[in-house]
């Protein structure tokens, strides 16, 4: 295949299995985000791809060449680390062309590439500056330009935004994505931030405890989570534990007007997830399961409002976009909530352990 592929990759550190049996394909020109909570193995996976860590088993291929045991300096992979790892005593230009100079590129060619990259990352005119005289966002651009200097086959970034403040981080996510698309370079970004992954990625790999939980587009991962872990980790969800009874879902004493997939046998325990923006309040025109509810809390979030409810199936949050519904809900108010049948995700009970 054209691109990078991992087959049965795993990594043990002593008795700890940090990465477990990973099979992944990274298509040429695609940006993939490795997303998951702290300690799930995403950095270890990236380091194996980079050649900085040897897998305990499995194979890594680039355009069908087996590169599993190829040392990092022999792979044409550009890396940007969390702290950018720039040389503080060198100028911006020297940082960017460093790898070219030490690999024997003629000085004039290296300088020309340096100018082109300064332009590319919008740092024209900053070439002679010291690294210490740059802002966080500018340092990140230098790190990106340096990683791109050798025209890498694959671009690897480990938490590239974590040293930046929230506002700058959002700007740089867009900027980096546009640059990556313009260059058409296969890119893998490690992040624990789902917004970052959703903003930048063609494809998201959700990981937990060393394993891949789901691979899909941002839309897939959000709207079609394959298990309760993904539904919980990506976006927000109300969760209810129930049972399948006569082809319907029962939660506590309430039978929902919802038919789960035929794969769920009668009597099997299930975990049900519902995104907070899906249920409606006081709407007779929406099909679904109607439940009496009492408002327990109202949270105004600016563009949206969260209405917290107490119902017979448990507590839930309903999110309203501001302006979508002008009714003002107040604590203690009685209301009727409708759970639309198609908005519910039903998972087997054994996947419910979070
Ligand atoms: P974070 O977001 O916190 O960086 P991560 O998802 O990148 O986490 P890893 O750093 O890959 O996770 O770690 C995965 C697991 O492997 C953890 O349990 C970690 O303690 C363990 N681990 C990582 N590197 C080593 C090492 N060199 N020696 C021993 N254990 C390690």
In the chain, what are the helix, strand and coil shares in percent, each to the nearest 5? 25, 35, 35
| Mean pLDDT for the stretch of residues 2-20 | 94
If one counts the domains in the chain, the total is 2
| Mean pLDDT for the stretch of residues 38-43 | 94
For residue 91, report the distance from its CA to the centre of ligand 1, in Å: 33
What pLDDT band is residue 351 in, cutting at 50, 70 and 90? very low
What pLDDT band is residue 230 in, cutting at 50, 70 and 90? very high
List residues bridging with 214 in a β-sheet: 206
Residue 277 sits in a domain whose CATH number is 2.40.50.140
Same domain, 221 and 255: no
Same domain, 224 and 330: no
What pLDDT band is residue 169 in, cutting at 50, 70 and 90? confident
Residue 352 scores a pLDDT above 60: no
Same domain, 96 and 244: no
| Mean pLDDT for the stretch of residues 258-277 | 84
| Mean pLDDT for the stretch of residues 255-272 | 82
| pLDDT given at position 279 | 94
In the structure encoding, which two tokens stand for residue 37, read together? 């909570």
Using most ligand atoms within 8 A of CB, pick from 12, 15, 16 the residue to mutate for ligand 1.
16
| pLDDT given at position 85 | 82
Same domain, 119 and 198: yes
Same domain, 159 and 285: no
Query: Highest mean pLDDT: which of 93-107, 248-262, 269-283, 337-351?
Result: 269-283
Of 229, 255, 279, the position where a domain reaches its end is 229
Q: Judge contact between 209 and 242, C-beta under 8 A.
A: no
Between residues 183 and 212, the one the model is more confident about: 212
List residues bridging with 304 in a β-sheet: 321
61 lines ligand 1 (CB under 6 A): no
Residue 1 scores a pLDDT above 90: no
17 lines ligand 1 (CB under 6 A): no
In the sheet with 65-66, reading across from the earlier edge strand, the strands are 16-27, 3-13, 57-62, 65-66
Measure the CA–CA gap between 67 and 54, rounded to whole angstroms.
Answer: 11
Residue 64 sits in a domain whose CATH number is 3.40.50.300
For residue 41, report the distance from its CA to the centre of ligand 1, in Å: 6
Between residues 51 and 284, the one the model is more confident about: 51
For residue 37, report the distance from its CA to the centre of ligand 1, in Å: 11
Same domain, 205 and 317: no
**Residues 292-319 pLDDT 10s:** 999 999 998 888 899 999 999 999 999 9
Q: Which domain holds residue 257?
A: 236-352
Share of the chain above pLDDT 90, in %: 58
Same domain, 213 and 256: no
Same domain, 20 and 99: yes
Minimum CA distance residue for ligand 1 atom 2: 38
**Residues 74-108 pLDDT 10s:** 898 988 887 778 888 889 999 999 888 888 888 88
| pLDDT given at position 239 | 96
What pLDDT band is residue 168 in, cutting at 50, 70 and 90? confident
Q: Judge contact between 192 and 224, C-beta under 8 A.
A: no
Of 199, 229, 259, the position where a domain reaches its end is 229
Of 191, 209, 229, the position where a domain reaches its end is 229
pTM for this prediction: 0.89
44 lines ligand 1 (CB under 6 A): yes
Same domain, 325 and 206: no
Q: Over the chain, what is the mean pLDDT? A: 90
Residue 212 scores a pLDDT above 90: yes
| pLDDT given at position 325 | 59
Same domain, 186 and 68: yes
Number of continuous H segments (helices) and E segments (strands) in the chain: 8, 20
Same domain, 31 and 165: yes
Same domain, 46 and 91: yes
């Amino acid at each position: 295949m054209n691109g990078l592929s991992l087959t049965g990759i795993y990594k043990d550190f002593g008795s700890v299995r940090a990465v477990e049996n990973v099979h992944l394909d990274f298509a040429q020109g695609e940006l993939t985000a490795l997303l998951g909570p702290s300690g799930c193995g995403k950095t270890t996976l990236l380091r194996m791809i980079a050649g900085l860590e040897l897998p305990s088993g499995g194979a890594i291929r680039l355009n069908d060449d087996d590169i599993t045991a190829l040392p990092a300096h022999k792979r044409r992979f550009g890396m940007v680390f969390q702290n950018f790892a720039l040389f503080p005593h060198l100028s911006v230009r020297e940082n960017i062309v460093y790898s070219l100079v030490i690999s024997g590129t003629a000085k004039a060619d290296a300088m020309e590439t340096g100018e082109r990259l300064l332009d590319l990352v919008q740092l024209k005119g900053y070439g002679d500056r010291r690294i210490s005289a740059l802002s966080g966002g500018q340092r990140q651009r230098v790190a990106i330009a340096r990683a791109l200097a050798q025209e890498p086959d694959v671009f690897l970034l480990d938490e590239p935004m974590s040293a930046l403040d929230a506002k700058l981080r959002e700007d740089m996510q867009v900027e980096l994505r546009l640059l990556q698309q313009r260059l058409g370079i296969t890119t893998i970004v490690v992040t624990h931030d789902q917004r970052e992954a959703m903003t930048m990625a063609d494809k998201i790999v959700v990981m937990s405890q060393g394993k891949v939980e789901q691979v899909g587009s941002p839309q897939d991962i959000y709207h079609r989570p394959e298990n309760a872990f993904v539904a919980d980790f990506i976006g927000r969800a109300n969760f209810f534990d129930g049972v399948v009874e006569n082809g319907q879902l029962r939660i506590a004493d309430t039978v929902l007007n919802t038919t789960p997939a035929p794969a769920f046998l009668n009597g099997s325990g299930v975990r049900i997830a519902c995104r907070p923006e899906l249920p409606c309040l006081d709407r007779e025109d929406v099909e679904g399961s109607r439940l009496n509810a009492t408002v327990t809390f109202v949270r105004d979030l600016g563009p949206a409002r969260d209405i917290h409810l107490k119902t017979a199936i448990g507590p839930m949050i309903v999110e309203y976009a501001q302006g979508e519904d002008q009714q003002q809900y107040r604590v203690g108010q009685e209301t009727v909530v409708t759970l639309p049948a198609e908005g519910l995700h039903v998972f087997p009970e054994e996947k419910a352990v979070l």
